[in-house]
Structure formats: structure tokens, C-alpha cells
């Protein structure tokens, strides 16, 4: 399995992915889930992938040469698309092409066609955009209300993203939030593992300047891992324990209510509720 997150902010984009794949407890491998497509000064795009590794790798290779028929106009590729929407359509077409080639054989072997991608970037003259592409090749776009996408083992790292991220969040703070989200996932799921790929793209740059591979020796991520766990424990211990007896407690647990009254067997007609 894997975990990837892509974030779209006013100031730029943040991408983070792990690199673990496994087919059992003793069959663990490392493959990068992030790939960058760029023409510095002209266009920048990044893709994160989750799901069946053979499907994802095929899509990644085809994407570089895949073309969309545009009628009488020249075919559209990710290298000549004039909008990120068209580039996302090229990616969706690549996914469907792999399905046409491999889908029947996978189905015959009892394997689901399972792949999803986070795809985002910026083309000169256009705003940044971020998309979530499904295994059918269709996609949705990030909005101000939903400024991040996750693929893979998303449930463990989602709470911190929900609580912290807004479109106005600074890029470095969003990168920190993504790393905390990844650390929470690493803690709870052995199918996600180091090393990580972290990419921060600043709006208008049209190139990838801030890209790092993070392993177990990275000092910043080691600090995140140790301090986040300790801070959580500190906050937890700072919350009052439940007080059943109420008394003068500022936040009593038990208050007058009929919602938690136990069910009792009715023994006499006078006990019936009219």
C-alpha cells in the first residue's frame, strides 16, 4: 500500500509520498510514487500514484507520449497542453489506455484494476491546479473548500490536514502539516514506509526547486517524529479526566439528562408511560 498527499494553497503546491510497496509481510520493496514533468519557465507538473504498481508504472511511461485527438488541431500532450485541465485529460486518457491493454488480463487473473493519481502543477499563463484522477480516468479538481487530496492509506493522516489546512496556509507550514500527517500514517500502518519524497512548488516559479528525499536519518523528520508524539501526549495529559460525580468540576461528565436512563422491565401498569 502507500500514502500520498497533494495540497493546493494560495502560495503554491505541496506534494508528499512514501515509497513502500509490499505483497506480504516478507515481500517489501521500495518504489518512488512521485514523478515530475517540467520545462523550466514553461510548465511544471507532478504526479503521485497509488494502487497497483504495474498499472501506475505503465501510466507514468505512457503519459509522456500520450496524445489526445483534438480534431483538426495538433494532438494534445502534457508537453503542449495550454491548460492543466487538458493535461489532466491526457492523464485520464493514459489510464484508460492501460485499462484497454491490461484490464481484461488482470480481470481474468482475479486482480482489480486499481490505480489513482494526484496530479497538479502550473502552465505559463494559467493558475495552479490540482486534480485527483480515478482508475476510470475521470477526475475532480481541488477547490478552496477542499484544498488537498489523499490517495492510499488516507485515514490516519487526514485529521491533522482537516484541522490545519486552509488556502491561506503558508507553504512551509503546509509542508510541516503533510509530514505530521505522514508520520501519523507511518505509526499506524506498516504498509507505508520510508523514504519519502517531499516537493514544495511556489506559485509562478514553473520549476521544481524544493524537492527532498527523506530517509530515517533526516534530522527534520526525526524531530517531527519525536516531538509530535510527545506533544500529543502532553496535550492529552493536560486534559481533565472525566468526573462522574460532578461536584464543583468545571467540566463534569455526568449531567442531568434522560438520554442515558437504563431500560427497565415494566412490572406494573402504573409504571407504563402514557
Tell me the pLDDT of the chain (274 aa) as tens digits. 799 999 999 999 999 999 988 645 666 788 899 999 999 999 999 999 999 999 999 999 999 888 887 776 789 999 999 999 999 999 999 999 999 999 999 999 999 999 999 999 999 999 999 999 999 999 999 999 999 999 999 999 999 999 999 999 999 999 999 999 999 999 999 889 999 999 999 999 999 999 999 999 999 999 999 999 999 999 999 998 988 887 778 888 888 777 767 777 777 666 555 5
The reply to whether 267 falls in a domain is no
**Cβ neighbours of 39 (radius 10 Å):** 13
The reply to whether 253 falls in a domain is no
The reply to whether 251 falls in a domain is no
Q: What are phi and psi of 145, to 5 degrees?
A: -75, -30
Q: Are 208 and 202 in contact (CB under 8 A)?
A: no
Domain count, the chain: 1
Q: Which three cell numbers stand for residue 2?
A: 502507500
pTM of the model: 0.90
The reply to whether 96 falls in a domain is yes
- Cell numbers 488516507 label which residue? 154
Which domain, by its residues, includes 25? 3-234
The reply to whether 258 falls in a domain is no
Q: What angle separates helix 219-237 from helix 171-188, to the nearest 10 degrees? A: 80
Q: Are 135 and 51 in contact (CB under 8 A)?
A: yes
Amino acid at each position: 500500500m502507500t500514502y500520498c498527499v497533494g495540497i493546493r494553497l494560495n502560495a503554491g503546491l505541496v506534494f508528499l509520498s512514501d515509497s513502500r510497496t509490499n505483497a506480504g509481510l516478507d515481500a517489501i520493496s521500495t518504489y518512488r510514487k512521485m514523478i515530475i514533468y517540467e520545462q523550466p519557465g514553461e510548465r511544471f507538473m507532478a504526479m503521485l500514484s497509488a494502487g497497483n504498481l504495474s498499472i501506475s508504472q505503465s501510466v507514468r511511461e505512457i503519459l509522456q507520449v500520450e496524445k489526445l485527438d483534438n480534431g483538426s488541431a495538433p494532438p494534445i500532450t502534457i508537453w503542449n497542453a495550454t491548460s492543466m485541465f487538458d493535461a489532466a485529460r491526457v492523464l485520464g486518457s493514459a489510464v484508460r489506455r492501460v485499462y484497454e491493454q491490461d484490464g481484461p488480463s488482470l480481470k481474468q487473473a482475479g486482480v482489480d484494476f486499481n490505480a489513482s493519481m494526484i496530479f497538479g502543477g502550473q502552465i505559463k499563463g494559467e493558475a495552479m491546479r490540482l486534480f485527483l484522477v480515478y482508475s476510470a480516468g475521470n477526475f475532480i479538481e481541488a477547490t478552496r473548500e477542499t484544498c488537498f487530496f489523499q490517495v492510499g492509506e488516507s485515514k490516519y493522516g487526514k485529521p491533522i490536514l482537516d484541522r490545519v489546512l486552509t488556502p491561506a496556509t503558508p507553504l512551509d507550514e503546509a509542508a510541516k502539516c503533510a509530514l505530521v500527517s505522514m508520520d501519523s500514517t507511518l505509526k499506524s500502518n506498516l504498509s507505508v514506509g520510508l523514504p519519502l519524497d517531499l516537493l514544495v512548488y511556489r506559485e509562478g516559479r514553473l520549476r521544481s526547486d524544493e524537492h527532498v528525499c527523506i530517509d530515517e536519518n533526516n534530522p527534520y523528520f526525526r524531530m517531527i517524529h519525536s516531538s509530535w508524539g510527545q506533544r500529543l501526549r502532553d496535550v492529552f495529559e493536560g486534559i481533565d479526566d472525566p468526573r462522574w460525580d460532578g461536584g464543583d468540576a468545571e467540566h463534569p461528565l455526568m449531567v442531568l439528562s434522560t438520554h442515558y436512563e437504563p431500560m427497565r422491565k415494566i412490572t406494573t401498569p402504573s409504571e407504563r408511560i402514557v
